[in-house]
């Protein structure tokens, strides 16, 4: 009842870092080659970027690391 017609088009997406669900309209998006990542805040985005970089250079440890 009532004359309020609401188009509820709030599609949620999941933050890549903290797995929180956020409305797509306020989410930060990062478009890769064939994927799109969503983030709830710039903090989560930066964390994800950092994590990615760390992963990419997993072979290089500290400068004084010696392998036996
Ligand atoms: Zn987040």
Residue 33's pLDDT is 94
In-domain check, residue 30: yes
Residue 6's pLDDT is 61
What is the CA(40)–ligand 1 centre distance, in A? 4
In-domain check, residue 22: yes
What is the CA(33)–ligand 1 centre distance, in A? 21
Domain count, the chain: 1
pLDDT (tens digit per residue) in 8-56? 667 999 999 999 999 999 999 999 999 999 999 999 999 999 998 887 5
What is the CA(25)–ligand 1 centre distance, in A? 14
In-domain check, residue 2: no
Return the CATH number at 18: 2.30.170
d(CA 65, CA 7): 59
Contacts of 30 (CB under 8 A, 6+ apart): 36, 37, 38, 39, 45, 48
Residue 4's pLDDT is 65
């Amino acid at each position: 009842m009532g004359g309020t017609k609401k188009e509820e088009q709030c599609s949620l997406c999941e933050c890549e870092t903290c797995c929180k669900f956020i409305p797509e309209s306020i989410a930060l998006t990062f478009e890769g080659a064939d994927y799109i990542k969503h983030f709830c805040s710039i903090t989560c985005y930066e964390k994800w970027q950092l994590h990615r970089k760390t992963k990419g250079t997993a072979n290089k440890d500290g400068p004084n690391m010696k392998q036996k």
